[in-house]
Amino acid sequence: MIAIKNKRLLFIGIIILIIISFSTYALYKANYREENKKQANIEFEGIVNHIVDGDTLDINDNRIRLALVNTPERGEEGYMKAKKLVQSLCLNKKGEVDIDDGQRRGDRYGREVGVVYCDGINLNKELIENNLAIIYSKYCDISEFSNEEWAKPHCH
């Protein structure tokens, strides 16, 4: 009788373990898909071959201005910290760009404007979260990224 109860408890325990394992896997896959969905709009990619400053870089010699992000200019406090973060995350690594639909024509200097991912890391978000940049609120009304979690508190 006791052996039967122990087998029954063991069986129930195994079933519960299988259900928990499956649920954890399903949640992981859902989160993974959601994260990659954000990067599904990548329009071009290449190697980051030059860092101009904290909010501008070159990917395969194409100049990219980070959407909504404004870092200190040369000579201003924080300039080197922002530039060094971008260098450490991106220089000579794979860069992917999601062009800002609201700024398709580029900026006044002819640069493409968008979100840049370096080895999968959202550079725009990293600069904001590390307090090395501010949101350039002038473009919140036109940028497709103004509702992103890293920009939304500053745009709305």
Q: Of 59, 136, 57, 70, which Cα lies nearest the Cα of 94?
A: 59
Longest dimension (CA), the chain: 83
pTM: 0.73
Q: How many CA atoms lie within 13 A of 126 on its CB side?
A: 22
Residues 43-64 pLDDT 10s: 999 999 999 999 999 999 899 9
Residues 70-125 pLDDT 10s: 999 999 999 999 999 999 999 999 999 999 999 988 888 889 999 999 999 999 99
Read off the amino acid at residue 107. D
Token pair belonging to 51: 């860092």
Q: How far is CA 23 from CA 9, 10, 17, 35, in A?
A: 21, 20, 10, 18
Residues 2-13 pLDDT 10s: 666 677 877 887
